[in-house]
Structure 1
């Protein structure tokens, strides 16, 4: 496997970890507070000022959107699941 493929898999793993609402870590808390800022991961705009890693994680959204399904809870929140 090429190094670029390994990198893509590692970044996809970050998306998976962000999607796990029952699994909070320091990294996910930081991401939610400072990068997502209460916004949906799928709607965050890619800014020129964001880091290389965050920009590439956001660019991977289009590659995995077909693998995602939504789970509607009480009508106020929708979570994505892989």
Structure 2
């Protein structure tokens, strides 16, 4: 989960730059499909998507790093989740559209020449109270921590709450157990 967080924060690291250039190719992390021939590590990062996604919130600055449809900058959640995939076509947009593309001089700008259906009009109306911020950099917050920064402790609590205890927990972990034998027993129980 820490690696997913580092990808969003764009921490200064050669690996993070490589991920953004080679793996993501100017797409949102949420839009990337798991390729059949990818590495084990990349597959695990993408599998964690479902757990990590609700925990990261985007704080809009200039809109250059926030993806319009995928990132959680809108109060109700990611626009794609709230309005569905058809809204991109109706809006004349694509998956790599950034938030900055609909902001100009601190005001919302909307593509012209598109047929305005009820869904697009609803989106435009719902965004009117959200005043876009044009100063500063975009940021991402870990919502389970008051500081907004990722911590391993909160990630562990999140993971342990999403995975309940198995019924055979007390067979494997008990006072005075031998770790080597407990590990083998854990493997056997997990396979069953």
- Larger Rg: 1 or 2? 2
User: Structure 1 segments of 4 or more deviating over 3 A?
Assistant: 74-77
5+ residue gaps in structure 2? Answer: 67-138, 143-192
Other structure's SS at 2:26 match: coil
RMSD: 1.7
Structure 2: how far apart are the matches of 1:80 and 1:51?
26
Structure 1 residue aligned with 2:54: 66
Structure 2: how far apart are the matches of 1:77 and 1:63?
21
Structure 2: how far apart are the matches of 1:58 and 1:81?
19
Structure 2: how far apart are the matches of 1:20 and 1:75?
14
5+ residue gaps in structure 1? Answer: 1-11
Contact between 1:19 and 1:81, CA under 8 Å: does it hold in 2? no
Structure 1: how far apart are the matches of 2:16 and 2:37?
20
Contact between 1:71 and 1:81, CA under 8 Å: does it hold in 2? yes
Residues 1-82 of structure 1: matches in 2 within 5 Å? 12-21=1-10, 23-75=11-63, 77-78=65-66, 80-82=140-142
Contact between 2:7 and 2:16, CA under 8 Å: does it hold in 1? yes
Per mean C-alpha deviation after superposition, the further-off stretch among 30-39 and 70-79 is 70-79
Structure 1: how far apart are the matches of 2:45 and 2:37?
14
Q: How many residues align?
A: 70
Q: Which has the higher helix share?
A: 1
Higher relative contact order (CA 8 A, sep 6+): 1
